[in-house]
Amino acid sequence: MIDRRTLLAGASAALSAPALGRLASPVAFVDDPFQLGVAAGDPDHRGFVIWTRLAPRPLDPDRGLGARPALVRYEVSENPSFSTLVAEGEAVARPELGHSVHVTLDALQPDRVYHYRFIAGGERSVAGRARTLPAPGAEVAAVRLGVAGCQDFQSGLYTAHRHLAGEDCHAIFHYGDYIYEYGPRAAVFSWGLGQMVPTVRRHGGPEIFSLDDYRRRHTEIRLDLDLQEAHRSAAFLMSYDDHEVVNNWAGETPPGDTPPELFRLRRAAAMQAWYEFMPVRADAFPANGLSGVFRQYRFGRLLDARLLNTRAFRTDQPCGDRFGSLCPEIRNPGAEMLGRAQEDWLVRGFGEARWNALLQQVMMMNLERGRDPEPRGVNVDSWAGYLAPRDRLLARLERVRNLVVLTGDEHQHWAGEVRRSDARPDSPAQAIEFVTTSISSGSDGPGTRPEHAEILRRNPGLAYIRDERGYTLMTVTPEAWTAEMKVVDTVRSPGGKLSTHARFRVPAGTARLERA
């Protein structure tokens, strides 16, 4: 029997050399075919994926290309002038995949910066930059990781992405909510301000359901030049959360009263569009309507980063998915967040590096909260709604030292300690969690909300909350893990200024937060 990985490898081989000429030929374009930019992702010590998508007329259903496959040339160099190439070749942009191109480079040198670009129809793309990971056993002095996500197009500009592009990151972890499925809105409710605020810009069509809809929404997002700059600057570690499909979907369970068969159709369309637009490897190609990828990124002996999938394999949210609930179902022993196969994969060999990180989508800290005048409970869409699998996983990771959890989804910066749900608040923490705020979702925030003081009082392991837009910059050395919580002063108009609102340090050998 031929497995899916072998099939995909064979398909890649079929698009090489002589086969290319039979499938496609160079074409002339009516406009710039590279308007969606370039991107790189999924690095290892031998290479990474480079991506582009031909779209001379980006918002047309056929992108201005009809049903023709097109030849695309790629070039890779160690210098930005491309005076000497270390890799080059041709790939086919196929209409079945929306004329997207994914090229996996696998013969590069470890821990080295490369520049790449594409050429088609006499047109040349902008150049991107990406870095390979260090060799598996290498001693590494430092790693810089950017963390970003939750980029609601309507709520604000992507100014933070422009600033992130200048951080010289080894890689950038995007935790999800790359697009939002909603239709155009005149205003959104700001939880930070407690009132409706006008949207900054509007989606170009109604709520999305079909493959064409999802493609059009991804295209609209990718046309943003600030986002393109971030992608050009470093390889991305791509994840998805819920809004890439529909709000708060959970595994095989459709939201609301949607019939399961219709939800699966919608999810399949969303997953195909996500694959088409993301710089990810061939094993992220959707199978049976789902891309269920989870990955390991190894930065020599310094850092083992495991990217998890907390959306595709979970059971339904408890308590009717009501935020701030505290029903008995949050301790359901049959609940799953990762699924057993992913959980078993995670614990195998984890903990051998100096630092060990979980890159995932929803908060792991078990925080008591809610919104007045409701009783205070938990966010049941987070790990706090799935205490049985959460505590089981933490028990299996008990021997893992220097454990850091990187999370998003909350539209605020948070920093605090992770313990099992039955642990005393004054017992040693098992891990430190940094939750990164949104790029734009939630629009401008007030910084401090009225409920912050009460949440901090009720949760002694929590050290920090901040409601502003931005990203986090992580610097990892053998001695310490440092997190810089970056914010921009506005996403409602161009030119938002960047600042570092807080800096935290975790010394190696102890799960303790220090304000740096």
For range 219-240, the mean pLDDT: 98
Q: Mean pLDDT score of the chain, rounded to an integer? A: 93
Beta bridge mates, 476 = 143, 481
Q: What is residue 8's predicted lDDT score, i.e. its pLDDT?
A: 46
Torsion of CA 445, 447, 453, 458, to 10 degrees: 70
Torsion of CA 35, 36, 39, 41, to 10 degrees: -160
- 342-371: per-residue pLDDT in tens? 999 999 999 999 999 999 999 999 998 856
For range 97-121, the mean pLDDT: 97
Structure confidence at residue 23 as a pLDDT band (50, 70, 90): low
- 499-514: per-residue pLDDT in tens? 999 999 999 999 999 9
In angstroms, the CA 351 to CA 402 distance is 8
For range 167-189, the mean pLDDT: 96
Q: What is residue 14's predicted lDDT score, i.e. its pLDDT?
A: 36
Q: What is residue 51's predicted lDDT score, i.e. its pLDDT?
A: 98
pLDDT over 60 at 16, yes or no: no
- Evaluate if pTM is beyond 0.85: yes
- 75-90: per-residue pLDDT in tens? 999 999 999 999 999 9
Name the amino acid, one letter, at 121: G
Which string of DSSP letters, residue by residue, matches 116-149? EEEEETTEEPPPEEEEPPPPTT---S-EEEEEE-
In angstroms, the CA 365 to CA 417 distance is 7
The 3-state secondary structure of 460-498, one letter per residue: CCEEEEEECCEEEEEEECCCEEEEEEEEECCCCCCCCCE
Phi, psi of 45 (to 5 degrees): -75, -5
Q: What is residue 374's predicted lDDT score, i.e. its pLDDT?
A: 60
Name the amino acid, one letter, at 10: G
Where are the strands (E) in 193-283, listed by range? 195-198, 235-238
In angstroms, the CA 279 to CA 281 distance is 7
- Tokens at 172, concatenated: 């950038």
Where are the strands (E) in 45-142, listed by range? 47-53, 70-77, 85-93, 100-104, 113-120, 123-124, 128-131
DSSP assignment letter at 429: P
Structure confidence at residue 2 as a pLDDT band (50, 70, 90): very low
pLDDT over 70 at 311, yes or no: yes
Residues sharing a CB contact under 8 Å with residue 62, sequence separation 6 or more, in sequence order: 95
Residue 189: its H or E element: strand 187-190
**Cβ atoms 516, 497 nearer than 8 A:** no
For range 251-275, the mean pLDDT: 94
Phi, psi of 474 (to 5 degrees): -105, 130
In angstroms, the CA 137 to CA 140 distance is 9
What is the dihedral sign for C-alpha 271, 47, 342, 241? negative
Picking from 137-141, 222-226, 251-255, 345-349, which range would have the lowest pLDDT averaged per residue? 251-255
pLDDT over 80 at 19, yes or no: no
pLDDT over 90 at 341, yes or no: yes
Name the amino acid, one letter, at 497: K
CA angle 23, 26, 28 (to 5 degrees): 135
Picking from 169-173, 337-341, 397-401, 453-457, which range would have the lowest pLDDT averaged per residue? 453-457
For range 252-277, the mean pLDDT: 94
Phi, psi of 276 (to 5 degrees): -60, -35
- Tokens at 43, concatenated: 């690095």
Q: What is residue 254's predicted lDDT score, i.e. its pLDDT?
A: 86
Q: What is residue 12's predicted lDDT score, i.e. its pLDDT?
A: 45
Long-range contacts of 327-334 (CB under 8 A, 24+ apart): 330/378, 330/380, 330/384, 330/385, 330/386, 330/387, 331/387, 331/388, 332/386, 332/388, 333/388, 334/388
Q: What is residue 196's predicted lDDT score, i.e. its pLDDT?
A: 92
Which domains, and CATH codes, for the chain?
4-131 (2.60.40.380), 143-515 (3.60.21.70)
pLDDT over 70 at 29, yes or no: yes
In angstroms, the CA 368 to CA 456 distance is 10
pLDDT over 90 at 18, yes or no: no
pLDDT over 90 at 497, yes or no: yes
In angstroms, the CA 399 to CA 159 distance is 40
Q: What percent of the chain has pLDDT over 90?
A: 86
In angstroms, the CA 58 to CA 38 distance is 14
pLDDT over 90 at 4, yes or no: no
- Tokens at 143, concatenated: 């790693």
DSSP 3-state of 338: coil
